Chain A
Amino acid sequence: MKTMPSSPTVRRRRARRARNWQGWLFVGPALLFVGVFVLIPLGQLVAMSMTDRSLLGGGKFVGLENYEKIWNDVGFWRALAFTAEYTIVLTPILMGLGYAFALLTVDNTPLRRITRTIVFLPVVIGLGSSSLLWFWLFDERVGLLNKLLVDLGILSEPMVWFITAQRAFWAVVISITWKVVGFGMVLFIAGIQSINPEITEAAVVDGAGYWKRVWRILLPLSRRILLLTTLISAIGSMLAFDQFYIMTSGGPRGQTFTAVYWIYQNSFVSFKLGYGAALSIVLTLIILAFSATQIALTARSAGK
């Protein structure tokens, strides 16, 4: 595309503005896909949330009655609080460890490559299988983890992990950390590797030590990918379900129900599909609000 330049900056500005609509062309197919396959069903979900539809069919329009019920649904708010607690505890652990492992394995030596592969390996196992695997490891009778802890002298006798909410919570956190930390690691490695090596070289020449380089250069420059990965990880935690379904069964006494677990119970066990839809919409709105703020903050910090 040849333009008649008046000056380099004006030329660039004109070229940029003229190119903007092309950006929409590139993004178009994705927007179309999401529009058809996500937004339409979402609309149907909203419609369903205003009925008292059962899983087994039937139901009539009830307006905002479901939403009023949610306001008084103690179980849901308790589940939401538990989910928030889980997210707030787990996310820093995953991101912190993930970044630490990224720093550890970003080099290309054989040992680092093997470590990278082993840390990533749990990511490829399905969540259901992994949760059940840990449920087996944690079991007081047949679990090898308890046996290991006893053999190592850390415990005097095998412990039942899932009879108090506290212990059950940490058991799930341990199992999920093991499973998911490799995911953050891989993303952060990509982030670190995309930093222009000239910058780090210059810092070395200037005499900056390793940790100073990490703190002053790597972290700030990976800020964007850090924030977005944290966001995606947090959203995943807020929608946690399978691990609790398999490991804690919501127990003891329903203290480890997460928000989605509560939705599952209402929709598929109590058959209240309409009410479950309303719960889903409320949860989605909460997550959407949270994400919007996060993305706004990230966009501002990108400074592009």
Chain B
Amino acid sequence: MSVATLVSTARPLRVARARRIPPSAYIVAAIAVAVCAIMAAPIVLSFLASIKTTADASAAPPRYLPETVSFESYVKVLNYQAGLATYVFNSGLVALITIGACLVVAAPAGYGLARYFMRGKEIAFLILLSPIMIPYQAILTPLYLDFAKVGLVNNHLGLAIVHTILQLPFSIFLMRSSFEAIPREIEEAAIIDGCSAWTRMTKVFLPLAVPGLVTVALFAFINSWNEFLAALIFMNRETSFTVPILLVAVRTGKLGAVDWGALEASVMISIVPCLGVYLALQRYYISGLLSGAVK
């Protein structure tokens, strides 16, 4: 049985449902709605506060709804220093490079760890996971001094490398789990068919691991987009700064005072692109030949 036929006959299997809807379905639906309400509440409250005037947003006692709808917090964030567009461009570029680097390095690594029996494999895995075990505030200083010597500071590539360091362990872990979940039979069939290792990986496994790749890309984007400390240390000019730095600067007042309206607007602004990426990539989670109904 060749790979092609095996792949084409596999499809999501659905268990036949009973005709009538059991009462448990209503309870579960109610739970889902409750969960939505609780989880969404802080964001909804944040949104409502972001459209208040600055004074209203820090009113004591607070009100749920804005007294008058005002977008002055958003305007403040949009026009701060170099302008939101510049920061978005920088964050976006760095995130894109990070995603690319993570995928290119982590996918083969995950594949190797998943499908090959090598002595010392787990030690290699431990080494690859090690970056997340180091407090990264500590490692940033030597890293910065090294990068400065080779001219990797104050540019997007240097920062993207740092972000990749932070994301790589998790990405490798994801890719490894993803490849491990693919059944043996597919691999055996590919070997019998005479595929080389590289073709096996690119033509057979990668398409099956798309949900994993997508998850890697998603988390790489989110974590790179929101990363603050390395971005601040490695970039030296306002025009190179990323969105998180803008968001901290715009809400900080004297002696630690916080402009709550600006904070809420920042939260909203940082959600939008990440949510967009998440929704765009959503469909790759659902599809995939190995998804199946649980019930």
Direct contact between the two chains A and B in their complex (CB within 8 A): yes
Q: Which residues of A contact B (CB under 8 A)?
A: 1-2, 12, 15-16, 19-27, 29-31, 33-34, 37-38, 40-42, 44-45, 48, 101, 103-108, 111-115, 117-130, 132-134, 136-137, 141-144, 147, 158, 178, 186-187, 189-198, 200-201, 204, 210, 213, 218, 224-225, 228, 232, 235-236, 239, 241, 259-260, 263-264, 267-268, 273, 276-277, 280, 283-284, 287-288, 291-292, 295-296, 299, 302, 304
CB neighbours of B170 from chain A (8 A): 232
CA distance A147 to B131 in the complex (A): 42
Kindly list chain A residues whose C-beta atoms are within 8 Å of the C-beta of B288.
193
Contact B295 A107 (CB under 8 A): yes
Contact of A30 among B128, B263, B290 (CB under 8 A): B128
Q: Are B115 and A107 in contact (CB under 8 A)?
A: no
Q: Which residues of chain B from 115 to 129 have a CB within 8 Å of any chain A CB?
A: 115-119, 121-122, 124-129
CB of B15 within 8 Å of the partner chain: yes
Shortest CB–CB separation between residue B224 and chain A, in angstroms?
11
Can you list 24 contacts pairing A with B, beta carbon distance less than 8 Å?
A: A15-B191, A26-B109, A26-B112, A29-B104, A30-B106, A48-B141, A107-B295, A114-B36, A117-B278, A120-B278, A122-B42, A122-B43, A124-B278, A142-B58, A142-B61, A190-B211, A190-B212, A190-B215, A201-B13, A236-B132, A277-B138, A284-B135, A288-B126, A291-B129
B6 sits at the interface (CB 8 A): no
For B266, list chain A residues within 8 Å (CB). Answer: 129
**CA–CA, A30 and B113, complex, Å:** 11
User: In the complex, are the beta carbons of B127 and A34 less than 8 A apart?
Assistant: yes
- The answer to the question of B280 belonging to the interface, with a C-beta cut-off of 8 Å to chain A, is no
**Could you tell me if A25 and B112 are in contact, using CB atoms closer than 8 angstroms?**
yes
**Looking at chain B's contact residues, is the secondary structure mostly helix, strand, loop, or mixed?**
helix
Q: Is the CB of B109 within 8 A of A142?
A: no
Pair B105/A133 contact, Cβ less than 8 Å: no
- Quick check: is B72 within 8 A (CB to CB) of the other chain? no
- What residues of B have a CB within 8 angstroms of the CB of A201 in the complex? 13, 15
Cα distance, A218 to B293, chains bound together (Å) = 12
Residue in B12, B13, B226, B260 whose CB lies within 8 Å of A125: B226
Given the known A-B contacts A112-B32, A122-B39, A197-B12, are A26 and B271 also in contact in the complex, defined by CB atoms under 8 Å? no
CA distance A114 to B144 in the complex (A): 42
User: Which of B78-86, B92-100, B176-184 forms part of the interface with chain A?
Assistant: B176-184
Contact of A147 among B61, B132, B136 (CB under 8 A): B61
Cα separation A283 to B174 with both chains bound (whole Å): 25
Give, as a whole number of angstroms, the nearest-CB distance from A172 to chain B: 14
**Cβ contact of B291, chosen from A15, A42, A122, A193, cutoff 8 A:** A193
Q: What B residues does A186 contact at CB under 8 A? A: 215
Determine how close the nearest CB of chain B comes to the CB of A95; give it in whole angstroms: 15
Closest Cβ of chain B to A64, distance in Å, is 18
CB of B228 within 8 A of CB of A128, answer yes
Contact A23-B165, Cβ < 8 Å, known A38-B134, A137-B45, A178-B39: no
Candidates A119, A204, A260; contact of B35 at CB < 8 Å: A119
CB nearest to B121 among chain A residues: A23
Q: Are B132 and A283 in contact (CB under 8 A)?
A: no
Contact indicator B59/A142 (Cβ below 8 Å):
yes
User: In the assembly, what is the distance between CA of A118 and CA of B125, in Å?
Assistant: 33
Residues of A contacting B290 in the complex (Cβ-Cβ under 8 angstroms)? 193-194, 196
Contact among A111, A134, A263 with B29 in the assembled complex (CB-CB below 8 Å): A111
Q: Known interface pairs A129-B270, A260-B135. Does A19 touch B197 (Cβ–Cβ under 8 Å)?
A: yes
Taking a contact as CB atoms closer than 8 A, the residue among A1, A48, A126, A288 that contacts B228 in the complex is A126
Q: How far is the CA of A48 from the CA of B228 in the complex (A)?
A: 24
